[in-house]
Chains A and B, each alone.
Chain A
Amino acid sequence: MNQNTDLLTLRSVSKSYGKVPVLHDIDLSIRDGEFLTVLGPSGSGKTTVLRLIGGLEPLTAGEIRLDGQDISRMPINKRPFNTVFQDYALFPHMTVSGNVGYGLSVRHVQRREIARRVAEALELVQLGRFADRFPAQLSGGQRQRVALARALICQPRLILLDEPLAALDLELRRQMQEFLKSIQREIKTTFLFVTHDQEEAIGMADRICVMQAGHIRQLGTPHELYYKPNCEFVARFFGENNLVAGKLGPVQGEQRPIETALGRLVCSISDQPHLKAAPDGANAFAAFRPEALHLADATEGDNRFSGTIADLAFAGSSTVATIAAGSDTAAQRLRLRIPSRIDGSALKAGETVSLSFAPHEGHLVLA
């Protein structure tokens, strides 16, 4: 269980349904023992990646390697992976223990051994009392846990989870996220989790693979994706963001200025060599998070500009202001997130405010 060794590698994997391509030349390495989330909007090909790995679909091109061995053509029932399906896919005619023990009994494991391991697995997912119930007698969250127990009882090298929380309500989803993460830590099995929900991805993943239109856009830790998105899509898709278009200026050490409708904005480019290498005058975006934006006292200096508050929205712990900034010809809508206060927000709609963000809290993405 060394997080630095690759368990599974996808090399130049493509997939088409008939003439419709859904995956273009994907390269992806899954590390042993990690919780990897594949995140993308619907139609991005994320579920297809999971189905190809699980063996539910054949590859069109490329190869999948497990411990260096090509398993592209290995049949589904021989792969040491198990799937938690989106709709659980529990067998309705079997009890909870029948479902959980299924993977062992088709391998002709001895009855007593099955009973012991089923009890163990049900204990792990806290469903010991429900062993003799049928799936129809369980709640959504309980079925979810049965599906998980059924997948992990065969001690697979990799557990594939296909949007397993999509059907649950918000509160239950939060509980299940923590639960999944804690189980993953306990059994130290590699999890490949597919979702379209970026909050879910941030909360659980060791690494996130962002997909769009059949391509992998970025692979990194949640922190990297949030603060150093490498393209416009990730910058916009992953969390709330303010993007201001402009042209790059000359590199200044670990920072680089960009000329925008809001004036000259200086952003950090540390650890992002492609931004250092981009030519002067290249089209790019200055990107800064709503919570990185601050109310400033002065209107002069780097990363300072003024705007008018168009709208205020109370969102519990924080308040989000929509701000119209820039000139009339190049209007720019920005979001500002500040902590809420019990005596009402310090801001008023229609007010003109001066704003700034620190260079190290801004980042650049190439257009």
Chain B
Amino acid sequence: MSKAGSMQPRERRLSLLVTVLAFALPVIFVLVPLAIFLVYSFFSVDQGTIVYAPTLGNYVRFFTDPIFLPVFWNTIVLCVSVAVICILLAYPAAYFLTTLRGRWRYALLMLLLVPLLMSYVIKIYAIRSILGLNGFLNKALVAIGILQQPSTLFVFNMNAILLTLSLLLIPFAILPIFLSLERIPQTLLRASDDLGASGLQTFLRITLPLSLPGVASAASFVFVLAIGDFLTPQMVGGISGFTFGRILYSQFGTAYNWPFGAALSVALAIVVICAILIGERFGRSRGTSV
């Protein structure tokens, strides 16, 4: 703080203001709302009005009612599947990108990321029309003879949510994997060749382990985005595709039970925080310098 002593009073006030803002903004816009949610989850509702008396009723209902826990669990399984599908599709794409030279590499990367700029709802509509009874997927499968007649397997159920979420979230998986692959120094791969490793050995023993941090952050990214989504299940899930996000939405939007919705949100937030922590744990590479 010896530096602050030499500052003019006005300068000092300005730097104090900047410091306060830097801390205040995340507190006001992130931590305070989260805290309010937490507090609300201990209230209850009586005939449409919130009763401000602390109770554990919401949590008891969440754990005892036979509806919520299975949906909660199924949603987690669904989102883990989405993350796995995204990684499996994104890794080869990202790897291919890193084999390209110079301008092509970034041009193609931009092209893969363009869908992020489009409206979420429009993308869901587009995918729904592809998956639907008269959609491209069914027509293609019938045309090549895999299906006898169009199937309802791909729309208004869990499969539809899985496919749609995967398609929507792939760009979020490509980017971190691409970045982690690109950061691997070429000399490490040459050193591996030089020591007698085959191309496959170099990939499995050098490239893959060194890109795992990117894979971990991609997976936690996709998982977190998928589990918080309610619009996609709402639009392509139909009746059978019921996810935790939809329950949450209905508590706030239709049932108007904010305290119970808040309790469900807290449960979801715990899962999200765990996912981020796990991603961070595996994302940290041992010894980043070469």
Residues of chain A whose beta carbon lies under 8 Å from any beta carbon of chain B: 54-56, 76-78, 81-83, 85, 87-93, 102-103, 106-107, 134-137, 150-151, 154
Contacts and interface: CB of A to CB of B under 8 A. Distances in A.
B187 A89 contact: yes
B251 interface: no
Contacts of A134: 286-287
B286 A82 contact: no
A88 B195 contact: no
Interface residues of B, number: 23
11 contacts: A56-B193, A76-B194, A77-B193, A77-B197, A87-B290, A88-B290, A89-B187, A106-B192, A136-B286, A136-B287, A150-B195
B40 to A, nearest CB: 45
A135 B289 CA distance: 8
Interface string B250-290: 00000000000000000000000000000000000111111
B288 A85 contact: no
Contacts of A78: 196
B195 A106 contact: yes
A106 B194 CA distance: 11
A93 B210 contact: yes
Nearest to B189: A89
Nearest to A153: B195
A85 B195 CA distance: 12
Interface string B158-199: 000000000000000000000000000101101111111110
Nearest to B186: A89
Given A89-B191, A106-B195, A151-B195, 9 more contacts: A55-B193, A77-B196, A82-B194, A85-B187, A89-B185, A91-B206, A93-B210, A106-B196, A136-B289
A56 B191 CA distance: 10
A91 B206 CA distance: 7
B149 interface: no
B197 A85 contact: no
B192 to A, nearest CB: 7
B145 to A, nearest CB: 44
Nearest to B209: A93
Interface string B203-214: 001100110000
B134 interface: no
Nearest to A147: B191
B201 interface: yes
A136 B288 CA distance: 7
B209 A82 contact: no
A168 to B, nearest CB: 16
A97 B108 CA distance: 40
Contacts of B286: 92-93, 134, 136
Nearest to A136: B287
3 cross-chain pairs, A with B, having the tightest CB-CB distances, nearest first: A136-B287, A103-B195, A89-B191
B152 to A, nearest CB: 47
Contacts of B285: 92-93
B194 A93 contact: no
B197 to A, nearest CB: 4
Contacts of B195: 77, 82, 102-103, 106, 150-151, 154
A341 B189 CA distance: 55
B187 A77 contact: no
A88 B191 CA distance: 9
B205 A106 contact: yes
A92 B289 contact: yes
A82 B190 CA distance: 11
Contact of B194 (A77, A91, A107, A135): A77
B142 to A, nearest CB: 48
A107 B288 CA distance: 27
A103 B205 CA distance: 12
Given A56-B194, A154-B195, A137 B287 contact: yes
A76 B193 contact: yes
A93 B208 CA distance: 11
A106 B197 contact: yes
Contacts of B287: 92-93, 134-137
A194 to B, nearest CB: 15
A135 B187 CA distance: 15
B36 to A, nearest CB: 43
A169 B198 CA distance: 36
Given A83-B194, A85-B191, A103-B196, A135 B290 contact: yes
Contacts of A76: 190, 193-194
Contacts of B192: 91, 102, 106
B197 A92 contact: no
A91 B285 CA distance: 12
Contacts of B188: 89, 91-92
Nearest to B185: A89
A83 B190 CA distance: 10
Contacts of A92: 188, 210, 285-290
B233 to A, nearest CB: 39
Contacts of A107: 196
A90 B194 CA distance: 12
A77 B198 contact: yes
B136 to A, nearest CB: 43
A81 B287 CA distance: 28
B272 to A, nearest CB: 28
A46 to B, nearest CB: 17
Contacts of B210: 92-93
A117 to B, nearest CB: 14
Contacts of B196: 77-78, 103, 106-107, 154
A90 to B, nearest CB: 6
A106 B191 contact: no
